[in-house]
Amino acid sequence: MLNGKEKVVLWICRCVLGMSLNLERRDKVDITSFQYLMFIVIGITVYYSIPLKLRYKWLIILSFLFMFSASKFGFVIVFCTSFLVYKVAIMIEYASSKKKILLGAMTVCIVILVCLKYLTQLLPETNKQYITYYIVPIGISYYTLQIISYLCDVYWERIPAEQSYSRILLFTCYFPQMVQGPISKYNEMEPELFAEHKFEWKNIKYGVQLILWGFFKKMVIADRIGVVVNSIFFSGTKPYGMTVIIGLLLYGIQLYGNFSGGIDVIRGVSECFGIGMIDNFNQPFFSKSVGEFWRRWHISLGRWMKDYVFYPFSISKSMGRLKKYLKNVVGRKYANKIVMAVANILVFALVGVWHGLGTNNLGWGLYYGFLLAAGILLESQCNLLKNRLHITSDANYWKGINWVRTFMLITLGWVFDCSYSMGGAIELVRNMFKFKLSNFSMFSLTNLELVMWVLATVTLFVVDLLHERQVSIRDELSKKNYWIQLIVWIVIIQMIACFGRVPDAGGFIYENF
Amino acid sequence: MLEDLSMKTFNKIIIFISMNIVVLVLCTVCLSEPSCTKLLLHEAQYGNYDILIMGQSHAYAGYNPYIVSEKLGGEAMDIARPSTATINHYYMLQEVNLQKKYKTVLFDIDYGYWDRGHSGRAGSDANLLFKLTGVRKIHYFNDVLLDSNYNDVFADYKLSGLGTIKNIPHNLSIKFSKDYRINNPDIFPEVAGFTKEGYYKYGGRGFYMGVDYMKDYYFKPLVYDMDNIKDENNDALIRMVDYCKENGINLICMSSALPPERLKNEEVEGFHNYFVAMCKKLNVPFYDMNYVKGLDRTGKDYIDKEGHMMKNLADKQTELMCQVIKNNNREKYFYTTYEDVLKNLGE
């Protein structure tokens, strides 16, 4: 039997180790859990209490504990993969057959990802859970892309190969980003991760504010809408007409609140350690074209695809040959455009498959790929038409039309997320036009819940609008009187407490990808 | 680290934390309902009982503890509460059995709860932390709350409608009353919100007697998803079984009979088979009252479409259940297939 002191030590150990000593079955690490908060609080306290030079090593320890809590042996795979990447990067710098080494290492990383993440999806449920619980490292989809970007950057001599293994290890497994990204580049993260961060109250304050704002978006807005969205699309009854349209609009807000809320929590946690991370969202719903939307939504993935798939593919030999052939058939201008269009379709198809193996994911990728391709191919015709109609691009009404068009196309694209297959998505689109069958009994919200949800969504819109106008709300708020700040944050905390609890709301949609 | 903080900043942090605690406590006192579980746990722990009925709302309306006492020989107490997570049952059982007096536990399994966990539930009975005593408090925190959403841990309230605000005077008057503080069982009807015109009357010992049909009650057929059964519920049941074995308690699982309309429209059979297999594996008897012969009923025997029984049906079900437990003759008392169940249903 343990005595009282030992029990206290064990309890503290458990908090420090996060979920590590917890041997219950767990398939997700919930970053909204009290345990995660304890883990962060103790992690930060130790971080700022140890010598500066040891701090990044403490982050490695925290990251391994976090990984261990999610899958018992997943950290071994991360350890081995990062060691391979570390060695290969050094070899690339000195070897003569750089390309072969790069391709070999990339193949290994991709094979591991495909085997662990995608092929396991084909296994029976019990085996799948077992493999996820014991073997698949948390965040494998995110860190695999990160290490591939590192290898490519070394290969293209954008950055030198890192000589310290522990640094590559931390870059691979830095725990906040293991949950749902963002997908960072080594040259961005290196100065952040390994700088000697002194304790600054501002970092903690801003970090906590970002965490709370993330919780607000997730719990008050996304989870509450999630109940309605689930009842419309995933409760077994088919939605029709206006029910589908409202459901898709709500799903867009839910996904935005959920995903960007999760990223805010992650960035907030990282900021508390003094480590800045790129934002994955830049007010995407203010976009005036589909292309712009994807430059503002999941920015790090889009940027990764552009840098490591789109450009290499566009300038590849096969595309060069295609361009040469097309020049003779349609002329130089259109040849370039067709090549760009094909590259876009490929990139989005890949992004779709990255999300999952379902035909709806592929359909999603192809939908956006073809939309962007059409935009590229029809650009000059559109400009011609615009000139004939004397439309100026800066005119507000034109901006409004573009915004509405983009919003409608994006909203329509959610059908792939709200169905289980490509066929299901097509059926959903068909049902969308059967207005007589609309059923509003699926919107089971009380009046107060509805009012609060609308108010919260309007708050989100206003905050995004201010960000769009380059207003830093945190800076503006910090200039205000202390008591005003106090009231604002107490209100947000109370909003989360009063309205942010939805039974079995589930975690973040992109969590543990 | 602390030397980098100026005294002014340090004070601001302390004020921020203190203000949040004050608001949190105020909201908890005003908005969260007075706890029925607190009263039931106290009565079950200190009263002269040896049979315990546990479960959710189907159990508080579906089993009459007085008939159980009479038929099984002993004294029964019903501590079932709506929305109780399975893991909470495990801790409630430990708490009431501190004096090791319980010989039999009748645990009602409501299928509708098995794909829901503890997370996100609010209200005075969702978080047991301050209702448990001794080391159970620490275990509960460690087991349940550490994994829960942070506002499940701290804030025991939510605003779900204007009714929550209107209830504040009622909440305060009960919470500050002496009877509530000393856990006087006589105050239970007031705490549970029973009124003269209500659908239930309080029968004592935690029993809710259904007396009137709820016409306006909206109930949507449940879509059971076997893939969504939560491991945390199964784990909690296993822990209850282990606890009962260690303490010489005869644990009996059962499932209260649903209205005919639900049996016709919902996939009850899958869940029935699931729990038959599970209880067989755990070596615990499981009596699904949906399959019992002779429990003739129509929708009008329930106070609503969800399956909360009127008193007469509850009495009939309790008597049958006691016979079943005593005789343990499945073939005599139960239909073997779901088709037979459906064939013999009323309207």
DSSP line for A452-486: HHHHHHHHHHHHHHHHHTT--HHHHHHHS-HHHHH
Q: Which residues of B touch A261 (CB under 8 A)?
A: none
User: Which residues from chain B sit within 8 angstroms of residue A31, using beta carbons?
Assistant: none
Provide the pLDDT confidence category of residue A26 given band limits of 50, 70 and 90.
very low
CA distance A511 to A447: 31
Asked if the structure places residue B11 within a domain, the reply is no
Q: What is the pLDDT of residues A373-399, one digit of tens each?
A: 998 888 888 888 888 888 887 888 888
| Among A22, A448, A503, beta carbon nearest to B119 | A503
Pairwise CB contact (< 8 Å): B158 & A498: yes
Quick one: pLDDT band at residue A16, thresholds 50, 70, 90? low
The answer as to whether B85 is a domain residue is yes
Spell out which residues of chain B touch residue A46, defining contact as CB-CB under 8 Å. none
A residues 120-139 closer than 8 Å to B (CB): 125
Size of interface A-B (CB pairs under 8 A): 105
Query: What is the average pLDDT score of chain A?
Result: 85
Mean pLDDT of A236-243: 85
- Is residue A56 within 8 Å of residue A170, measured between CB atoms? yes
The percent of chain B in helix, strand and coil, each rounded to the nearest 5, is: 55, 10, 40
d(C-alpha B347, C-alpha B290), whole Å: 14
The answer to whether A136 and A120 are in contact (CB under 8 A) is yes
Select from A24, A199, A502 the Cβ nearest to the Cβ of B120: A502
Residue type, A167: R
Identity of the residue numbered A483:
W
Closest CA relative to residue A511, chosen from A51, A66, A24: A66
For residues B100 and B217, give the distance between their C-alpha atoms in angstroms, rounded to a whole number: 41
Report how far residue A86's alpha carbon sits from residue A81's, in angstroms, rounded to the nearest whole number: 9
Pairwise CB contact (< 8 Å): B119 & A199: no
Is the Cβ of A30 closer than 8 Å to some Cβ of chain B?
Answer: yes
How far apart CA A275 and CA A208 sit, in angstroms, is: 13
Q: Which of A510, A2, A513 is nearest to A257 (CA)?
A: A510
Question: A101 — phi, psi (to 5°)?
Answer: -65, -45
pLDDT at B196 over 70: no
For residue A381, what pLDDT is reported?
86
d(CA A59, CA A44): 9
User: Does any domain span residue B75?
Assistant: yes
Q: Which residues of A touch B160 (CB under 8 A)?
A: 446, 448-449
B217-230 pLDDT, tens digit each: 666 666 666 777 88
CB distance B201 to B306 below 8 Å: no
Q: What are B266-309's pLDDT values in tens digits?
A: 888 888 999 999 999 999 999 999 999 988 888 889 998 888 99
Tokens of A442: 């699926």
Quick check: A335 pLDDT over 50?
A: yes
Q: Which residues of A touch B147 (CB under 8 A)?
A: 22, 30, 33-35
Judged by CB atoms closer than 8 Å, whether chains meet at A235 and B9 is answered as: no
CB-CB neighbors (< 8 A) of B136 in chain A:
none
Using alpha carbons, list the distances in angstroms from residue A108 to A199, A307, A351, A462, B96. 40, 20, 20, 46, 57
C-beta of residue B272 within 8 angstroms of C-beta of residue B303 = no
Min Cα–Cα distance to chain A from B284, Å: 23
Mean pLDDT of B14-35: 89
Name the nearest CA neighbour of A129 among B47, B231, B96: B231
pLDDT band at A513 (very low <50, low <70, confident <90, very high): low
> Using omega within 30 degrees of 0 as the cis cutoff, is the peptide bond preceding A182 cis?
yes
Angle between helices A422-432 and A359-377 (to 10 degrees): 70
CA A306 from chain center: how many Å? 16
Task: Tell me how far apart the alpha carbons of residues A131 and B65 are, in angstroms, rounded to a whole number.
Answer: 46
Residues of chain B with C-beta less than 8 angstroms from the C-beta of A18: none
The alpha-helical segments, DSSP class H, found in A71-156 are 74-94, 98-113, 125-134, 140-155
Contact A296, A263 (CB under 8 A): no
Identify which of A34, A45, A499 has the shortest CB distance to residue B159: A499
A316 touches B at CB < 8 Å: no
Return d(Cα B246, Cα B57) in angstroms, integer. 28
DSSP A52: G
Which chain A residues have a beta carbon less than 8 Å from that of B142? Answer: 11, 14
Residue B115 belongs to a domain: yes
A489 touching B (Cβ < 8 Å): yes
- Write down the H helix ranges in chain B: 7-31, 36-46, 57-62, 65-72, 86-96, 135-140, 150-154, 162-166, 168-175, 178-181, 188-191, 231-246, 260-265, 268-282, 311-327, 330-333, 338-343
Residue in chain B lying closest to A493 (CA): B20
Q: What are phi and psi of A137, to 5 degrees?
A: -70, 145
B59, B209 Cβ separation under 8 angstroms:
no
Report the pLDDT averaged over residues A167-178.
92
CA B58-B59-B63 angle, 5° bins: 115
Tokens of B71: 């038929």
Residue A159 has pLDDT above 50, yes or no: yes
CA angle B225-B87-B150, nearest 5°?
Answer: 90
Residue B161 lies in a domain: no
- Which residues in chain A have Cβ-Cβ distances shorter than 8 Å to B4? 198-201
Question: Rounded CA gap, B114 and B275, in Å?
Answer: 10
d(CA B32, CA B120): 15
pLDDT band at residue A29 under the 50/70/90 scheme? low
**In this predicted structure, what is the pLDDT of residue A1?**
45
The CB-based long-range contact list for B277-285 (8 Å cut-off, 24+ gap) reads B278/B234, B278/B237, B279/B253, B282/B237, B282/B238, B282/B241, B283/B241, B284/B241, B284/B251, B284/B252, B284/B253, B285/B252, B285/B253, B285/B325, B285/B328
Q: Name chain B contacts of A30, Cβ cutoff 8 Å.
A: 147, 149
Residue B6 has pLDDT above 90, yes or no: no
More confident residue, B116 or A347: A347
Q: Which domain holds residue B63?
A: 34-120+185-343
Mean pLDDT, to the nearest integer, of B199-214?
87
pLDDT (0 to 100) of residue B251? 94
- What is the pLDDT of chain B when averaged over all its residues? 86
Considering CB atoms only, which of A22, A32, A200 is closest to B149?
A32
How does residue B192 score in pLDDT terms, banded at 50, 70 and 90?
A: confident
The residues pairing with B287 across neighbouring beta strands, listed in sequence order, are: B254
CATH number at residue B49: 3.40.50.1110
Of B5, B16, B150, the CB nearest to A37: B150
- Domains identified in chain B, total number: 1
- Give the best residue of B121, B147, B148 to mutate against chain A (max A CB count within 10 A): B147
Nearest to A33 among B20, B150, B227 (CB): B150
The residue of chain B with its CA nearest to that of A481 is B12
Strand pairing category for B208-210 and B200-202: antiparallel
Q: Is A499 on the interface with B (CB under 8 A)?
A: yes
Four-residue CA torsion sign, A128, A131, A137, A141:
negative
Kindly list the strands in the beta sheet with B76-78, ordered across the sheet, starting from the edge strand earlier in the chain.
Answer: B76-78, B51-54, B104-108, B250-255, B286-288
Q: Chain B interface residues facing chain A, Cβ-Cβ under 8 Å? A: 1, 4-5, 9, 12, 15-16, 19-20, 23-24, 27, 31, 115-117, 119-122, 138, 142, 145-155, 157-162, 223, 227, 231, 235
* C-alpha distance from B336 to closest chain A C-alpha (Å): 29
- Which structure tokens are listed for B14? 């302390």
Q: How far is B268 from chain A (nearest CA, A)?
A: 16
Please give the C-alpha separations between residue B191 and each of A114, A406, B37, B92, B252, in angstroms, as whole numbers: 57, 54, 10, 19, 29
Instruction: Give pLDDT tens digits for A140-154.
Output: 888 999 999 999 999
Residue B272 resides in a domain: yes
Top pLDDT among A256 and A497 is at: A256
| Alpha-carbon distance B237 to nearest alpha carbon in chain A (angstroms) | 14
The answer as to whether B313 is a domain residue is: yes
Q: Please tell me the distance in Å from A210's CA to the nearest CA on chain B.
A: 16
Per residue in A256-303, pLDDT tens?
999 999 999 999 999 999 999 988 999 999 999 999 999 999 999 989
Nearest CB partner across the interface for B148, out of A33, A236, A497 = A33
Under an 8 A CB cutoff, do A504 and B117 touch?
yes
Band of residue A22 on the pLDDT scale cut at 50, 70, 90: very low
Question: To the nearest 10°, the Cα dihedral for A136, A137, A139, A140?
Answer: -70
Query: Residue A59: which of A73, A48, A70 has the closest Cα?
Result: A48
CB contact under 8 A, B1 and A219: no
Confidence tier at A462 by pLDDT (50, 70, 90): very high
Q: What are phi and psi of B339, to 5 degrees?
A: -60, -45
pLDDT at residue A407, rounded to an integer: 93
The answer to the question of residue B83 being in a domain is: yes
Structure confidence at residue A94 (pLDDT) = 85
Q: What is the pLDDT of residues A208-238, one digit of tens each?
A: 999 999 999 998 899 888 888 888 888 777 8
Alpha helices in A114-222 (DSSP H): 125-134, 140-155, 165-173, 175-180, 186-194, 201-215
- Tokens matching residue B228: 């969504």
Of how many residues is chain A composed? 513
From the CA of A52, how many Å to the nearest CA of chain B?
11
For residues A486-513, average pLDDT = 79
pLDDT for residue A180 = 85
Question: Cα A253 from chain centroid?
Answer: 15
Alpha carbons A20 and A13: distance in angstroms, whole number: 9
* Interface contact flag, A447 B146, Cβ < 8 Å: no
Place of tokens 């036009």: A433
CA count, 13 A, side-chain hemisphere, B296: 0
pTM of the full structure: 0.83
State pLDDT tens for residues B42-88.
Answer: 999 999 999 999 999 899 999 999 999 999 999 999 999 988 889 99
